Structure 1
Amino acid sequence: MTAITTSRVESIKPRWQAIVMVALIFWLSASLIMDLVIMPSLFVSGMMTSPEFATAGNMMFWGFNRLELICSGVVVTGLMVLSNLFGDFGKRSRTAIILSLVLLAIALIDTYSLTPQMSALGMQLNLFDSAAEVPAGMNLLHQGYFVLEAVKLTLGATLVGWCYQNQV
């Protein structure tokens, strides 16, 4: 009876490792595409000075931020399962969970703090003003966003490496 139970538990281990790795790789690659391809191309095309940019950016990041929240939730859950059922990371188990919770916190900050503030600063409320300038506070928010992105990519890459090292 215990052999059957043990084999069932051991058979879900590769699934959870794969789920965590796929969620992390998908999330990090989507972030890189957003940061290195989509946003620079919008900037070069002059969309940043367009009055519709704040609305378009808000809609684009609204969806992307929700995707980040789903991925971070999957990563936290998967690492907790791997750590509790299998003790996969050994001494790194607690650290892996803490890093995944930091990734979740970054996703929450992006979703509920930075994106709404950037959208609010970028909204053009004067319909008769044709030339919109980028507000001074926007640069500070962009710097904060890119610092969080760098931390997210570093922590995510660390977790992907740990998951890869502990594969069956």
Structure 2
Amino acid sequence: MTNFALSFPKLSPRQFAWDSAVLFLAVFWLGGSLILDFVVMPMLYMSGMMTAPGFASAGYSLFELFNHVEMLLSGLILTGVLAMRQAHADCSVEVSGSRSRWALFLAGSLVAIALTYTYVLTPYMGSIGIVLDMPGIIHIVPSSMDWMHGAYWLLEAAKVLTLGFLLRLCYSDIAAQFSRQN
């Protein structure tokens, strides 16, 4: 009788490269945000999104989905940073106390930004947009929508900067590991 069972090696927490995982997730998130902000949104705006009926519900659906992906990514990044705090490698972010605190602060900030998008900005902007979608009403964008767009872009800039700092911390650790091996 032949045994077809595959045996997979067990990874210890030290063998899993948490800094590489955080780096990958941050690059993925940053790329997705930049594509949404500088490719998708300008195309929708230039095609007349604001004047089309149903733009608010379409925009809400798009941002609701993306916000939930952002919440997932921010939670995974925070998990990775917390896991790095437990696995102290020689050149790791987590060996230095100040770098460790910065990484934890940055990861926590990303979670806060994702929660703000998901539970504050998107629902509020969606509710303002629903009024603009009603048939027979003159479509005048209220000033609160301008304020909310400003808050969105401010948070978006903070998110990009935070991801950039976190990328710098993780990349320098990975580069130090490769230079140490050579």
Listed one character per residue, the Cα deviations across residues 13-66 of structure 1 (whole Å, up to 9, x for unaligned) are x2x122111111111111111111111111111111223110000000111000
Indicate the residue corresponding to 1:83 in structure 2: 85
Indicate the residue corresponding to 1:127 in structure 2: 135
Q: What is the rounded CA distance, in whole Å, between the counterparts of 1:64 and 1:8 in structure 2? A: 33
Indicate the residue corresponding to 1:34 in structure 2: 36
Structure 2 residue 120 is the aligned partner of structure 1 residue 113: yes
Q: What is the rounded CA distance, in whole Å, between the counterparts of 1:106 and 1:126 in structure 2? A: 30
Q: What is the rounded CA distance, in whole Å, between the counterparts of 2:105 and 2:144 in structure 1? A: 31
Q: What is the rounded CA distance, in whole Å, between the counterparts of 1:9 and 1:102 in structure 2? A: 25
How big is the shift at 1:127?
Answer: 2.4
How big is the shift at 1:136?
Answer: 1.5
Listed one character per residue, the Cα deviations across residues 64-91 of structure 1 (whole Å, up to 9, x for unaligned) are 0000000000100001111222162213
Give the number of the structure whose alpha-carbon radius of gyration is greater: 2
What percent identity do the matched residue pairs reach? 38
Query: Aligned pair in 2 of structure 1 residues 9, 56: CA closer, same or farther (>3 Å)?
Result: closer
Q: What is the rounded CA distance, in whole Å, between the counterparts of 2:12 and 2:113 in structure 1? A: 35
Residue type of the alignment partner of 1:143: G
Structure 1 runs of 4+ aligned residues shifted over 4 Å read none
2:15 to 7, 11, 17: 11
How big is the shift at 1:9?
Answer: 4.2
TM-score by length of 2: 0.82
1:104 to 82, 106, 111: 111
Q: What is the rounded CA distance, in whole Å, between the counterparts of 2:167 and 2:142 in structure 1? A: 37
Structure 2 residue 171 is the aligned partner of structure 1 residue 164: yes
More off after superposition, 102-111 vs 16-25 = 16-25
| Structure 2 unpaired stretches of 5+ | 1-10, 178-182
What is the RMSD of the two structures over their aligned residues, measured on CA atoms? 1.6
More helix by share: 1
How big is the shift at 1:95?
Answer: 1.4
Aligned residues: 159
Indicate the residue corresponding to 2:160 in structure 1: 153
For the 8 Å contact 1:49–1:133, the answer to whether it is kept is: no
TM-score by length of 1: 0.89
Residue type of the alignment partner of 1:72: S
Indicate the residue corresponding to 1:138 in structure 2: 145
